[in-house]
Amino acid sequence: PDVRAMGSAISCLARARLVCETDRPVDDLITTLRTQTRPGQGVLFFNADPAATSQTLSVRYSALRPLVYSTRDSGILGYANRLALLDWHAITIQVEALQAMTDVQARLDGLVPLAERLKASYLVIDFPVTPDMLEGLPVKILLQNDGFTLFGLN
């Protein structure tokens, strides 16, 4: 276990604070989403590594912003809306193809149109990009840290 993080949490709780500051990249992302985006505007959160999807739901439940797609929605759609499950499956195939790409520029070039088709206002990615990779794409960087880049879509 991360003893430093546990010590920080204990210190925070000892001061009777329910929400404590951290230096994790995901916390910076959540704070930025809460303060620099409007409620109700959709977010596409893309994980390059399919095993790292746990951070995705933090957008929905901590930042209180709607996700336009989540790999974790299949269960509820299977029970509640089988027609939407077919759409979800089609999007999943596209996302998996993007995850399999080794060319980061091609991946980014595929993600932006996908986000637009899903009517997302924001795109979050967890792989590094450079400013020259953004030329010609209708995006604006709102946050870039060690773990994530948050784009506003124009």
Per-residue pLDDT band for 131 (boundaries 50, 70, 90) equals very high
Rg (CA), the chain: 17
Please count the CA atoms within 13 angstroms of the CA of 119 that sit on its side-chain side.
3
- Give the mean model confidence (pLDDT) for residues 139-148: 95
Q: How far apart are CA 58 and CA 66, in angstroms?
A: 10
pLDDT value, residue 20: 65
For 115-133, b/e burial (b = at least 16 CB within 10 A) is beebebbbbbbbeebeeee
pLDDT value, residue 1: 60
pLDDT value, residue 102: 95
CB-CB contact of 43 with 66 (8 Å): yes
pTM for the model stands at 0.83
Q: How far apart are CA 75 and CA 113, in angstroms?
A: 26
Q: 7-33: per-residue pLDDT in tens?
A: 777 877 887 766 666 678 888 999 999
pLDDT value, residue 19: 63
